[in-house]
Chain A
Amino acid sequence: MSPTQQEISAEIAAQAAPTSGTAHPERRYPPYRSSLLRHPRQPLVPADDLKDPDAVELSGPVFGVTDVTELDADLTRQHHGEPLGERITVTGRVLDRDGRPVRGQLVEIWQANASGRYAHQRDQHSAPLDPNFTGVGRCLTDDQGRYRFTTVKPGAYPWRNHTNAWRPAHIHFSLFGTAFAQRLVTQMYFPGDPLFAYDPILRSVTDDAARQRLVAAYDHELSVPEWSLGYRWDVVLDGPAATWTEEGR
């Protein structure tokens, strides 16, 4: 039988103490049931201090103007009509752990529509699809490491981790650094969402301050009169020391 929200919330509370001091979730996080058979049991082999400067993971794939179109960053203009929902812009910088901008790199996003439905065949949530919204975007960061998307605010949606499980509204982000080892896929959340406390995926980040770094800030300066609301969200890529102490990259 599917666990209740109460049972899952009790498990979340029991897991709440930060375990390793790392920002990232433990891969074994029982309140998120799908993690149980999909995490390694053996310790990972440390590779953050490789002496081998030729380790392939210290370099990474590059993307360019051939790989994006200018319209890819505006998710509201990919169809004939305007999508339903609250129009927003989301912008921020991609930085390495030394605070240096990641320039000219690919940022990809995907999200549910304003009703909480993905344009994915396997999403059979009964919320309506929007013929004017797919929910996929891409862009390259500029010289300051900035990205910028125009989209609509995604809706919350139910999932089947437990009875009455609802995901807080979020946008999926995929990011590349200069090194493959800096690769990151994560989710951006919206400030003040009442579902934060109930969601085992967000709560898998057990450190409060780290979890806060997944939440964008509403920025009135970014809002455009009669047009859109603005959110700001910076991303800091983790990675081996060699990728963030070396100068001149």
Chain B
Amino acid sequence: MLPTPSQTVGPFYGYALPFPDGAAVAPLGRPGTVVFHGLVLDGEGAPIPDALLEFWQAAPDGGRQGRAGSMRRDHTTGGHAGRDGVTFTGFGRVATDADGSWSLHTLTPPAEAPYLAVCVFARGLLHHLFTRVYLPDARPDEVLRRIPAERRSTLFAREERPGVFGFDIRLQGAPHEETVFLDFA
């Protein structure tokens, strides 16, 4: 069957898609919690304050089956209840701040899939973009091997201090600056 075309997320998703604890993928107090953070930038290097990022990753044990409960609802008030603090769902959703920044608290992905899958949405972006955030010590996999050497570094997070990783997403730029995006369709 022919696919339904994509359309931009637009500027007004903010009261619909983001949810409390969207960035808190790691269960409360879990050892091994790491932080990924960075900016989303446009072709002039300006921060994008209305981008939405989604993250999906393997669990530390390699599991990819996911769990419900990312956006748990309060069935009394109809509002959001937040995550339960125990379950690792593997899914995160973060809107960029007014300064284009984002951060995600999660568990370190496993060595056999040492990356976060990212889906980028924004006003002005007619079709979402996929990329990956690799841990600095990730070994080359099938995707990395397909990327020209001079562009590969755009997919590696840099460890700023233990457990804190920086990763900027540049939607547009010179070949060695623009983030590598992946085409899955």
Q: Which residues of A contact B (CB under 8 A)?
A: 22-27, 29, 32, 34-42, 44-48, 50-52, 54-57, 59-69, 71-72, 78, 95-99, 108-110, 112, 118-120, 122-123, 134-136, 172, 174, 180-181, 183-187, 201-202, 204-205, 209-211, 213-214, 234-240
Contacts of B129 in A (CB 8 A): 27, 40, 44
Q: A235 to chain B: which residues have CB within 8 Å?
A: 4
* Cross-chain contact B183 with A45 (CB below 8 angstroms): yes
Minimal Cβ-Cβ distance residue in B for A214: B5
Contact pick for A180, options B69, B119, B123, B141, CB 8 Å: B119
Q: Quick check: A56 and B58 within 8 Å, CB to CB? A: yes
**Across the interface, do B42 and A37 meet the contact criterion of CB distance under 8 Å?**
yes
Q: How far is the CB of A249 from chain B (nearest CB, A)?
A: 12
Contact among A57, A110, A237 with B17 in the assembled complex (CB-CB below 8 Å): A110
> How many Å lie between the Cα of A172 and that of B180 in the bound state?
27
Whether the pair B4, A64 counts as a contact (CB closer than 8 A) is no
In the complex, which residue of chain B has the Cβ closest to the Cβ of A67? B71
Contacts known (A180-B117, A236-B2); A24 close to B72, Cβ less than 8 A: no
B101 within 8 A of A: no
CB atoms of A45 and B1 under 8 A apart: no
Residues of A within 8 A of B14 (CB): 120, 122
A205 CB to nearest B CB, Å: 4
B interface residues, Cβ below 8 angstroms from A: 1-17, 42-44, 46, 48, 54, 56-58, 64-73, 75, 78, 89-91, 112-113, 115, 117, 119, 121-130, 141-143, 146-147, 151, 171-173, 175, 178-185
A48-B183, A180-B117, A213-B4 are contacts. A38–B15 as well, Cβ < 8 Å? no
Greatest chain A CB density within 10 A among B67, B91, B129, B185 is at: B185
Q: Which residues of B contact A210 (CB under 8 A)?
A: 2, 5
Q: What are the residues of chain A within 8 A of B142 when measuring CB–CB? A: 50-52, 55
B124 and A136: CB pair below 8 A? no
Choice from A52, A68, A136, A214 contacting B7 with Cβ under 8 Å: A214
The residues of B that contact A99 with a CB separation of less than 8 Å are: 1
Query: Across the interface, which residues of A come within 8 angstroms of B151, CB to CB?
Result: 42
What are the 8 A-B residue pairs with the smallest beta carbon separation, nearest first? A64-B68, A34-B124, A110-B16, A61-B91, A238-B3, A38-B124, A181-B184, A59-B64
- Kindly report which residue of chain A lies nearest to residue B112, judged by CB atoms: A54
Cβ contacts under 8 Å, B78 to chain A: 69, 71-72, 78
- Within 8 Å CB of B48, what residues of A? 38
Q: From A45, A66, A236, give the contact of B69 (CB < 8 A).
A: A66
Least Cβ–Cβ distance between A246 and chain B, in angstroms = 14
Residue numbers in A under 8 Å from B65 (CB-CB)? 59, 62
